Structure 1
């Protein structure tokens, strides 16, 4: 085993330890409790706003509410994330505004867990909650900073996803393994590291469903 592989395995082990009984699981339980209560009382699963408000209150009372000044320097804004680069750690922090969650946050938590399973070398760790520059409540996701040589090509992305068992659909608009559908696996979201490996740093993942294309189109600013 070379040094790079050892470092990778160490990172994966660290992330797995952080997630066991960690903030992700606790936050998911809070959100699920809201969903179950609303469903029982109102007979609907539409409760995203209520869940977000409850998570903010929970985060503030449990020490998980973060000031963006703690995260580092503001670097960029994507369709769903504000990105901050830590000055003292090899991490980026992403303030995710839950854009790609529909009626409730179930898909958000599923997406984070799926991403970490498929792409463990650039896994997300939920470290808290905060407000972005638009005053929207966001999840704060930590991700390793990837030193890259370039963006991946579409062919490289397709080949890598096929190795993971995903097949391209609709001329590569998304990829599926019949468990999850991966959207937005485009060159600007997939980096080639200095070790030559591909890092999928920012994709959209849904549980496989026939309506995912229309859902993605309705949520993505690319189609608005």
Structure 2
């Protein structure tokens, strides 16, 4: 699994709805290679933001209109809008991540582990000098409360270890998965749907098995 995930992150292998995510990730990598090493922290994100805007201008990848009347909810990191009865649109400014690259990795990991709620990157939107990734996702209904113990047992059976509260770690792969409270994992007919995930890659992920 680790090798498979490494290939997905590097763009060598495909994953559901991964094409546009891998394309923009590849653009950032190539631009970084051409210009040298980015500085750390805020400088990285600032450079990436400029490159994403450049990519959108060159490839007509801007979303220019969001129907604010379809607003459903918002959190620290994103705004959610109902697109139709089957899909939602999420605007995410990647605030949980040190870099845009890390956010794109999160999308790819989500699409690998939870294809039923895979994200499709459909463009970028800018508002009040803030850049948002615009992703499309299946609209999931819930018909009962999510039991966090069920989430825990499901993840343990898939190689994750519960580190604290609603946070998990997969030691075999080197992946952190956080913030899996009962609003981010919904239950419908006893099936779990992971609608908001926060994945991080550790240094161990990039090491050979």
**TM-score (ref. length: structure 2):** 0.79
Separation in 2, partners of 1:62, 1:159: 43
Which has the bigger relative contact order, CA under 8 A and spacing at least 6? 2
Question: Which residue number corresponds to residue 69 of structure 1?
Answer: 66
* 1:94 paired residue among 70, 81, 90: 90
For residue 50 of structure 2, the aligned residue among 35, 48, 53 is 53
2:113 is aligned, of 99, 107, 118, to 118
Shift of the alpha carbon at 1:131? Answer: 2.3
Aligned length, in residue pairs: 186
For the aligned residue pairs, the C-alpha RMSD in angstroms reads 2.3
**Residues of 1 paired with 2:116 and 2:45: CA distance?**
30
Runs of 4+ in structure 1 deviating by more than 2 angstroms, as ranges, are: 33-38, 42-46, 67-72
CA deviation string 1:3-50 (max 9, x = no partner): xxxxxxxxxxxx73x43xx32122112222333345x2x663542112
Aligned match for 1:206, one of 195, 200, 206:
200
Q: Which residue of 1 is the match for residue 9 of structure 2?
A: none
Which residue number in structure 2 is paired with residue 129 of structure 1? 124
- Asked if structure 1 preserves the Cα contact closer than 8 Å seen for 2:146 and 2:187, the reply is yes
Q: Partners in 1 of 2:77 and 2:152 — Cα distance?
A: 24
How far apart in 1 are the matches of 2:23 and 2:182? 34
Cα deviation, residue 114, structure 1: 0.8
1:126, distance to aligned residue in structure 2 (A): 0.7
Task: Return the TM-score normalized by structure 1.
Answer: 0.74
Structure 1 stretches lacking a partner, 5+ long:
1-14, 211-224
Structure 2 CA distance for partners of 1:192 and 1:75, relative to 1, 3 Å: same
CA distance in 2, matches of 1:114, 1:23: 14
For the pair 1:139 / 2:133, whether they are aligned, the reply is: yes
Which blocks of at least 5 consecutive residues in structure 2 are unaligned? 1-14, 205-209
Q: Which has the higher helix share?
A: 1
